[in-house]
Structure 1
């Protein structure tokens, strides 16, 4: 979106952003004076997207602790109180004393009407290959969350920079329109006086008045554009819409791209490349994790408990309790799972190959992006310099036409045409200036040195 060339689109977009911002968590009404660097730093602390990315990073840190908890001792307590309203009967086919078979089977109820027990269990992981790989994967995922946080910061630095430049250019354009307004106001008064004294015709006055009315409307429109572009900047920074902001940087002080910063460029400077490498590492750990499930799992276990029973509920809490406990090792090992894990490993190996191809594609995309950004930047700088020269030349033409008209050797139409050409040259220059500033940001991002 071009702030200068599409004011209506800017107005619609900014109004939408402001509507969203009304319900967001912002700061109190305040007044700020900020340079571009200060605006970016403020946004990196207060923009909602950055805040969410920071929370995602903290969530990833907590997930490491969650996985680590599986390797720590697990202790559980349990207790129950049971009313056996129908006691199961056990068939008896031999005499308990002699062991001789009975003539007929007896069915004897075994159990108490009320039983109660409580106990504690303890387990400690001794070996589980997938646990250690999962812990390593969780730590690696935390690194990915940090990279995502950085990526969000870079994106915010980009949009804040472009919004900041948009305000600077629109302020300059407003000042330009105000100067045009003053110039045409003076020209209109002079032409009116010349008409009253018989040195100009009514049509000359009307021509100037048409130009004057047009620039008057333009002046009001650009004041609104400046206000809306400031609102867009405040939204990107995380400021409330009613906050007051003053930009301390001047557009003339914005320097050109520093090519020395790009001399030793490597793909690792691009955050997207780092993110892709971490995803590749996570996929390799995923493969190891599946393979680790072939290994046995060993746990140390222990438990202790007490139980009792009685024919009445009161007796459950007064009768003698009987204890029981055990300690040991528990091991489990998969033997055959229908080739499930083998197929899982194969899938993940193919996914790892996809990441390798994606890395190669990303390298090619980065090369093309840098080439395009560099070409665009050089072209926009040349265009800006050419439009600056055109603006200076058209100003000279206007001033000469104005002098000739005042001395009676030039025409009113010549002055109006020169004024229109001068204004168009001014518009072209500021369009080119804005495009040059934006191309500088794009080039910095392409080289990975924006933030």
Structure 2
């Protein structure tokens, strides 16, 4: 079967395979590969790295802030100032133009300041760390979604392989029956219409197998896409349908706090924490801020550019600056009220999320139970259809049955096979959805 699948895939490959390595993967291997190569998870990892830098950026606000400055001026026209004439013995009301300053001026300085206390900075620092936690949980959510997508795609390939196996079995036994019927027709034992009936069934099965082979090739490509693997890479699945256990779910009803294992609930909790931190930040606006400042400047002045830097006029200072908020038209009060409402809304959303997750789990539970019962019923129906076909063939060979009865039994078996395949796929997919609903996929 794997050989047939490989032939189908080779036929549909449009590029030369650039990787000669053979990937013989189990479900877990495919998931692990996706964790390393799927774009959504790679981007989630980058988001975590970005959040780490955001924490460092916020931390840097509380470190000393140092800046340098430099300036140079060439006064093409030195500014003129008018001084009262009586300063120079002139009549009152007159002014004497005087130029102060020199043609060339330059300065170099360095300034530093340090936060000593700022409530909003302390809250912002904690918020940046919570933001990093949010990025980590978003990565977990991406991994869960990728896990689900890869698992479902893997199961789809396995089910398509099983469908191909059943089709091949039906084609082989129908080919044998058709050859026998043709010989009987040549001997005059059966009519031409009997040959035509079975030929129609045989041709339909051949077409179904060709369609299934094409679908199987596409399903392999879908799986590789979900994994983040180039679709032209060779991939062989190691797990079989028999390796998959459809678990009993009797113990799931006893877990009443399963929703806490859901990443959606965890993300909602982180959202509340961020809203609470924003409320603290708004309240911190009522607190004073205190900063330390220091500055040193070297000034140079001269009418000759060549002598400009021969004489230095330095200045420096250190000091504290205190900012005490007193009244801002109740803006801070209303901002605090808005943040309080945001916290209440996020808490309501969390409660609604919990109820929604419980409902989702109940739906997944019912769907899974129904899927198992349907699958078991389809297995029994398929076994019965095989037995009916076997008995119909014996009766036909013994001359007590008709070819129409055999053809009808063959059609019933094909229908049972199709329903069994659909039931198998539905049961496997509902199992994945159930595991996700109860937070069992990490």
TM beyond 0.5: yes
**1:270-314, CA deviations, whole angstroms, 9 ceiling, x for partnerless residues?**
111111111101101101101111211111111111111222333
1:301 aligns with 2:293: yes
CA contact (8 A) 1:122 1:302 kept: yes
1:409 aligns with 2:400: yes
1:204-243 maps to which residues of 2 (within 5 A)? 204-243=194-233
1:75 aligns with 2:73: no
Gaps of 5+ in 2: 1-11
Distance 1:343 1:29, change over 3 A: farther
1:131 aligns with 2:136: no
Supply the distance in 1 between the matched residues of 2:57 and 2:119 (Cα, whole angstroms).
17
1:314-393 maps to which residues of 2 (within 5 A)? 314-317=306-309, 319-393=310-384
Between 1:83-92 and 1:269-278, the stretch displaced more is 83-92
Supply the distance in 2 between the matched residues of 1:148 and 1:262 (Cα, whole angstroms).
28
Distance 1:74 1:95, change over 3 A: farther
CA contact (8 A) 1:126 1:300 kept: yes
1:265 Cα deviation (Å)? 4.7
Supply the distance in 2 between the matched residues of 1:322 and 1:102 (Cα, whole angstroms).
37
Distance 1:85 1:306, change over 3 A: same
Residue 144 of structure 1 corresponds to 134
1:55-204 maps to which residues of 2 (within 5 A)? 55-93=46-84, 104-204=94-194
**1:123-146, CA deviations, whole angstroms, 9 ceiling, x for partnerless residues?**
111111100000001101111111
Supply the distance in 2 between the matched residues of 1:104 and 1:140 (Cα, whole angstroms).
70
Supply the distance in 1 between the matched residues of 2:93 and 2:341 (Cα, whole angstroms).
71
Supply the distance in 2 between the matched residues of 1:170 and 1:90 (Cα, whole angstroms).
95
1:253 Cα deviation (Å)? 2.0
1:408 Cα deviation (Å)? 2.3
Supply the distance in 2 between the matched residues of 1:188 and 1:178 (Cα, whole angstroms).
15
1:45 aligns with 2:43: no
Distance 1:28 1:88, change over 3 A: farther
CA contact (8 A) 2:156 2:219 kept: yes
Provide TM-score, normalisation by structure 2.
0.92
Determine helix, strand or coil for the equivalent of 1:42: helix
Supply the distance in 2 between the matched residues of 1:261 and 1:221 (Cα, whole angstroms).
40
Supply the distance in 2 between the matched residues of 1:226 and 1:103 (Cα, whole angstroms).
104
CA contact (8 A) 1:46 1:238 kept: yes
Supply the distance in 1 between the matched residues of 2:268 and 2:64 (Cα, whole angstroms).
36
1:271 aligns with 2:263: yes
Determine helix, strand or coil for the equivalent of 1:343: helix
**1:11-55, CA deviations, whole angstroms, 9 ceiling, x for partnerless residues?**
xxxx9xx99xx9xxx995642111111111111111111111111
Supply the distance in 2 between the matched residues of 1:393 and 1:103 (Cα, whole angstroms).
124
1:229 Cα deviation (Å)? 0.5
Residue 303 of structure 2 corresponds to 311
CA contact (8 A) 1:29 1:240 kept: no
1:102 Cα deviation (Å)? 6.1
**1:169-198, CA deviations, whole angstroms, 9 ceiling, x for partnerless residues?**
001001111111112211111110000111
Determine helix, strand or coil for the equivalent of 2:94: strand
Supply the distance in 2 between the matched residues of 1:103 and 1:201 (Cα, whole angstroms).
137
CA contact (8 A) 2:375 2:427 kept: yes
Supply the distance in 2 between the matched residues of 1:386 and 1:242 (Cα, whole angstroms).
39
